[in-house]
Amino acid sequence: MRIEEYREPSWPRPRATDLNSALTETTRRRLGEELQALYEPVIDEPLDPRLAELMKQLEADRDR
């Protein structure tokens, strides 16, 4: 799928306030810890040079 073809989902998205009230503080904290543990090894991996170049181009386009 090309980016131009992307459409937002038709179902209603939950509002942030709805999500916050549905999760307890303990659940939010545990979820955050689990996500951090899951993604921490990925953060330390080197970025693919092609992706790094694309990101530089996007930033340059945004600064124009």
Q: pLDDT at residue 1 above 50?
A: no
Distance CA 54, CA 20 (A): 35
User: Which DSSP string do the residues of 1-64 spell out, in sequence order?
Assistant: --GGG----SSPPPPHHHHHHHS-HHHHHHHHHHHHHHHHHHHTSPPPHHHHHHHHHHHHHHH-
In the prediction, which pLDDT does 42 show?
Answer: 86
Per-residue pLDDT tens over the stretch 17-40: 655 567 888 998 999 999 999 999
Percent of the chain at pLDDT above 70?
A: 67
Domain ranges in the chain are 16-63
